[in-house]
Amino acid sequence: MASMLRRITAEDRREAADALDDLKATLAYAGTQLPSPGIDWQCASVTGIVLIDLGAAPTSVVVQIVDVLRAGVRARREQADQQPWYPAVGATVTLHAPGGVPLAAKVVGANEKLITVRLDSWLTP
């Protein structure tokens, strides 16, 4: 039974090992580390569920990890706020012809790379 479960959980065990390596490398890059992380191989061989044990850590280490996580969340939010803006389909926009003449236009297509408009009027000076 155990050998069959080992075959079934082989990919999960590899993913767990990779995830733990990534976590340790990321924390090391941020200047901190968990004192005793590991993978609970015994649980995987009995239940089929691979658990990553983050171990016991002193408060100072947990505070450092929380700081790293907060910085990452903050960076993601700031990045999301800086996404390029483009008008929605159906919106009315004003374009400017040479000489500053305003042109009313309706957005008929928009995505992250291209905005298609239909001029509602052409004003000539």
Domain layout of the chain by residue ranges: 2-81, 84-125
What pLDDT, on the 0 to 100 scale, is given for residue 47?
85
How far is Cα 101 from Cα 120, in angstroms, rounded to an integer? Answer: 14
Average pLDDT over residues 15-41: 91
In the numeric block, the tokens 């706020």 are attached to 81
* pLDDT for residue 14 is more than 80: yes
Which candidate, 49, 68, 65, 46, places its Cα nearest to that of 57?
Answer: 65
* pLDDT for residue 53 is more than 90: yes
> Of 5-9, 47-51, 64-68, which gets the smallest average pLDDT?
5-9
How far is Cα 124 from Cα 97, in angstroms, rounded to an integer? Answer: 9
What pLDDT, on the 0 to 100 scale, is given for residue 124?
46
How far is Cα 61 from Cα 31, in angstroms, rounded to an integer? Answer: 10
pTM: 0.57
How far is Cα 116 from Cα 109, in angstroms, rounded to an integer? Answer: 5
Give the pLDDT confidence of 54-96 residue by residue, as tens digits.
Answer: 999 999 999 999 999 999 999 888 877 776 677 888 888 888 8
How far is Cα 13 from Cα 66, in angstroms, rounded to an integer? Answer: 27
Where does the pLDDT of residue 125 fall: very low under 50, low under 70, confident under 90, or very high at 90 and above?
A: very low
- Tell how far CA 14 is from the center of its chain: 22
Highest mean pLDDT out of 32-36, 84-88, 112-116 = 32-36
Average pLDDT over residues 25-37: 90
How far is Cα 3 from Cα 9, in angstroms, rounded to an integer? Answer: 10
